[in-house]
Amino acid sequence: MDFSSVVLPPGTFTIGKLFDFEAGHRLPGLPSAHKCSRQHGHSYQVEVTLSAPALEGPGFVTDFGDLTPFKRFLDTELDHHNLHEVLPFEPTSERLAQFLAGWFIHNVEPDIPGRLVAVQVRETDRSWARFDVEQR
């Protein structure tokens, strides 16, 4: 079959990569009767979404291997820690997603061709928060 007549439409390429870590936290700003004001833990999943108008190298937005510094950060700084003790804010999933976006933009993005679009943080299979990066 001849595919040479297939016209490739213009658009943006998007990729995502899922990471995970285990951590505890509490939200002391909540009333003491609220379950999340007490110490508890989550098996967090963090998904980064990147995009690019054109592909690099063999056809990548970004080589997934180039995201290793982000995984290393999660493993060394957040995994098996009490988030309320290591982060400078009350560690809701929303704030954590924004913080991770900032860390990624500052520490990973300068060395890769793709641009961060969003960070999603999952506390459970059914609960998540997403921070969408404004267009830059």
Dihedral over Cα of 104, 106, 110, 113: its sign: positive
Q: How far apart are CA 108 and CA 13, in angstroms?
A: 19
Is there a catalytic annotation at residue 80? yes
Catalytic residue, from 36, 56, 84, 90: name it: 36
Q: How far apart are CA 118 and CA 132, in angstroms?
A: 4
Is there a catalytic annotation at residue 123? yes
Count other C-beta atoms under 10 Å from residue 98's C-beta: 19
Q: 6, 5, 27, 23: which is closest to 91 by C-alpha? A: 27
133 token code pair: 């990066």
Catalytic residue, from 22, 40, 77, 80: name it: 80
Give catalytic residues, as residue numbers.
36, 80, 123
